[in-house]
Structure 1
Amino acid sequence: MLASILDVTVMTIEILAAEFVFALALERRKQFWVRFLGSAFMCLEIVWLIIFMYCKITDSFFVYDSTTAPGESVFKFFFFIAVFAMSIACIAFSFDRSIWVILFYCSGGYAAQHIAKNVTNILKTLPRISFYCAEYSFWFPYLLEALVCAIVYLSVYFLLVRNKVVYGSKRGMKTRVFVSLFVLIICVGISRFSADNPERNFVAVIAESLYAIVGCSLVLFILFIIDRSEKTENEVETMTELLRREREHYKLSKENIELINMKCHDLKHQISALKGNYSEDKMKEIESAVMIYDATVKTGNDVLDVILTEKSLYCEKNGIKLTCLVDAGGLSFMDNMDIYSLFGNALSNAIECARKVTSSSRRIVTVNARTFGNFFSVHIENYYDGNIAFENGLPVTDGDKNYHGFGMKSMSYIAKSYDGQMSVTAKDGKFSLDFVFPLEKI
């Protein structure tokens, strides 16, 4: 009886430990350790109380391992479901995330615990380990199980969970959680009922354990691998939407700049006709105002001309100095929309960063693009204040949550599609973005 209580206690601690490891990346509530340890101990107390009540009501001992007592297998199945439910409540009480995210990680944690338990069962069938389990029955089985749990938990954590952010729509996450819980409960239920057969041999034990390991691995696949697939699909949809917006913006920008230049051209003729009616200083002021809008950049590429003209007007308005040294004659290998997306995103990021610089003398954006031997190189540089964080080699900043980081991903994708390379550096308050494209391969 005491051995069974100890086994159930160890199992509960293993489940809580697995779910804790899986939930490490989640935001913690205030007084986290008080909450977690207090609720974990309460789980154990309820587990002990349930066993005590079972013994009182049935007037029999609770047996954790194989048993032939009528109805005890059914009780154990629902008992383990109750333990899982209490562990979920413990994690939800300790970590500050939605119930669906909590269920997501707890399902993965319980699956990892069940994998570790069944790996231990297989190891116990080996002659040498079986001998030690029998010879040192009080402590060796628990030590073996603890080591296996540690290895499995850490392996799954570093392979699947580390730096993991639950992604996808709420509906998609609900579906994955429901399917995972269903598969998990089926696996645990079958394992529980089969374990209560005292006549099964070691071959049956291995087969049952392998079934449980495969089933719980499927749960982890549903939770984490399919989630990554959904993330990729969402990224593709988002980048497609961004490209659509950029295409529309390019058409609009081109039309606007052409219209402005036409109006400026007409205004220049009208100003010439007015000379003599106003003072020379007044005429220079009027001509200067018109010249701001007639600042069309000529690079040798029509698309790049539109981008740089648009950005130069914005910089003029916002007190930013935009310096361009661009010979785009060698840029003919690139699709027009890729040019617009690449330079548009790069300049938007640089200008937005420069706009936030406190010192007006450092609000500078420099653009260099030219053919260098058999390569076409692009260098965009700007100053920045504060710190820039990097994730997977790309800078990340707070912005539109729906399109966060997709500008950099889009540029990286475009560079790779032309066998080019993109590099980013941020040092001593200066941010540099470089692209190199081989012309021979293209």
Structure 2
Amino acid sequence: MIVLPVWKELLQWGPLLLGGAAMGSTVERVLGPCRSWPRRGALYLLLGFTLGLPAWVGDHNPILLFLPFLTVFLLCGGGRPQARLVAGGIFYTLLVPIGMMADTVLKQAINSVSHNGERVGSNLVKLVCWAVLVPVIWKLVRRPVRLSSRLWKLLGGLTLAPLMATLSFSLWGTGMVGDELVDHFVEGIAYTILPFASLSALALLAALAVLSRHEELEEENRLAGLREVYYQGLRQEQAQVRALRHDMRNHLSALLGLLERGSWEEAERYLRQLGGSPALTGHRRFCGNETVDVVLASKAAALEEAGLTGEFQVSLPEQTDIPAPELCALLGNALDNAIEGAAGAEDRTVRLRARADKGLLMLRVENALGRPVKRGPDGAFVTTKGEREAHGFGLAGMEEIARRRGGSLEAKAEGGRFQLTVCLPLDGGN
């Protein structure tokens, strides 16, 4: 007599806990892990509550759940606020229609059975549906989604259609007219539209994965271009060394001839010219970090070619835990933007300060502006180059590096000057 109620409780609450944990880990798969256990627990409890919430067609529970659902995602999810909000709308649209259909069907099928039997059966049906969805989402989304603000806004707009279709069956449900025929008609429409709402949400998750991979490939291409600058500098230096080694016999013969004739001043001048060869001096040294030195030497030459003066004050160790491609991206993009912005300005000096101190890498680049800068609808600076589709990704790429490493990036244009400040934690990002 006592065992049966215990089993009923397990059947009622077990699926809620299991389903909440399974779907919570799936949400973290999309947004990235929650670093706070209380926030993670709140997210898991929300999803378990969503699984067990009665939400048949025409019931007001789905509309009452909507704002708390988005709020918990916004406060407890991983990633950027925009990402949490859009993901909350997508997962709401994915899960709630399944609950509405399962509850409505079982309410009619088990109408003569106790309320507990209806709830247990509905929870089990929804748990089976979630068990099918979890591996599908894990296969679609293989790593946390990283998108630009513009793409998150676009996907948020696409989410509105299935989301409003789901909410409409809570706002305008059965029982409002009191006509059984009308109620059956509304339920028939719901059984037609709600599955497509969930499928649309699943398609949006697939789109998130595809767009995120596209963004990663673009970033890899940009980093590959900066790595090419680094290796081109090394190859150029090696070519100069080989040329000097090849001509060394001729140089020694010329020096010997000058000394034999007693032309000491000419011999001294010749030695000074030979000593100033790039093959002997190597590329310019700024801080001893090979990656930074090569990139800055390349950009210093670009500054001179553009008629600008570079003032570099760099104090970085030979090795940092920031990968070389990311250092190349930060320094290269910052100076490229400065060269573009300073074109036509009266002040022809570009100032760069970089320092590693107290577990932080701090980078600041400042330059005068030759023309006013504009911001796009999302607040980001718009490139002044002609082909906007091919440019304007520098700041976005730098911001992504800073965000991924737990740092910050600030760009501002005031009083005819542009200033970029980047702060990154060292020692593994702690």
The TM-score with structure 2 as length reference comes to 0.49
The TM-score with structure 1 as length reference comes to 0.47
